[in-house]
A and B are shown apart, each in its own frame.
Chain A
């Protein structure tokens, strides 16, 4: 049904509707048409509320410029460029993290506090802010918080922060076009499922059960209309 028909139908629905009840007002009930207003289509099925919420989140700014600089550096430490794909910052991960902490506000304080913790730790160790420390000095701090099973107990806050940052960076990267390239992801496109490739079956030593071979979907007849006999056997 097209939009025009849709509108027509809803208009018809409005004529068919009955009496408007005032509920609690003293005046007598009067007749009103129920004619819902139909908005234009929304992008990828968003409701008007969702569009407004997303727009408000996009407009809001959480991280400061300094924090974004730190984030840009850190996400590339976690996911650097290599021979397979680009780095996290090239994949837009800092902007993704900026959005996600606004969308999931429970991230806000741990992320801000974690970035601040790096500065206080660098101050204690080297007498300067984290981004002013040398590359070696910065990595030394990261090495102390990146391995939860080995980290010293006094590093716990840093470990927790880095776990969160590793999660968000990894997920932000691998759900980006660059990440899909990295994973060599092949799906999300119309196709025909023909089963596991033969060489993969052989590699794992699997065979399909004989009894199902005659009934599995046949790619060659998958567009012919289904027909059954009276016992429910597929005959076409």
Chain B
């Protein structure tokens, strides 16, 4: 039976209903049996209706008085007894009803019904987000910005109440529930065909794995974005085939890696994430000795990365311990990094860079200040943990500030909202400095410092004209889309970045013929974006862009003969 709330009420009311029925019937039967006396002194019996009428207003304490005639003492004795049993039964019933309505399980069932209904009313694609955190809130905002619907689940009722106060909570179905249960996921619509992905960024990473496995069995068409910083969990996650593992530690280490070798790629990455414009001066990270505060999972990744570059590095951590080898070669110091002596001991004076990655913002700031005093030229990379200390971090003049939460937000939302952009980013991360420098220059010369990114899909809806041209057997090279509609021999400010088709990915395509189903990513300015859309969908504009002549309207042609 689907309507659980109704059954919960009924079941809770079983005992009080029985009490009311039994007390009423005893009272009514007694009233009918006990003889009364009418105005003329004749003996008379109340009918069942009289008795029911009297007991009804007696039990509910309305009390209209003795009817139809004044009672005899025998009747009054019985009524006295009845008052106590029926009134108590009645109050018990009302009390039980109120308790049942305010009951937690009932409230939960009602909320759940509302939630299920709201989720099933969503017509567009949507994403399930598990847990309400700062990171997930930012992700929800980004989804809203690109018109993707969101469903939120959290175990904590208080957190849900907090979320409902946020502006972003409009139109978001929310439910209090344990996301690790199949039932909850089904309520959240995981079986629906328009559920596209599920975001699971729990701190407890085993939960993320569990979600991925559950999802695989429930609906393997749903993508899972899961946070995972442990190696074995990542491996198991990827084994499910549907999960994408996001490891913020690894992403940031990769960035440092790129910054050491090919800073222009990093410039491109920041531009793609919309963190900054395309800067001209891409700086190499200084090469030399690095000091890293904190040797957890993040520190270990940094260690491997520095080894790869043959750079000297010293790690300082108070709580964790490294291998004997590292301690003996003085690459690890077990001490409080927030200490002048320790930093001197680690060689802060001859170091070129300092990475502060502890989980305490105040510690991080304090280490930075001490280090800066000891070595004013040192390159500072600092981790920021909460949003509360933003202004202080800005005042501390840190060369490179990072926040794992922001990395998670950017990565997750880019992968889900702009998959083509995400694909492009993945491809360029493998390229070298020379390639990056060339592309940055190309973009800056052709478009400007802040090109916008737009994409086009070759299908009947998004690019009507090109779609039919290709169906007719014509070759449409990608360069046609670059041409200016005021003069076809000139190009707009557009650079095609990527063509993605079934088994092929072409970076910076030139003179390639388009195929049906292609997805193309462009960097361009505003005018360029408008004209790409015009050429793609309007047959007259496409004809002009291809041949430099006005296409004759087929209808006019017929009419004019």
Asked if chains A and B come from one complex, the reply is no
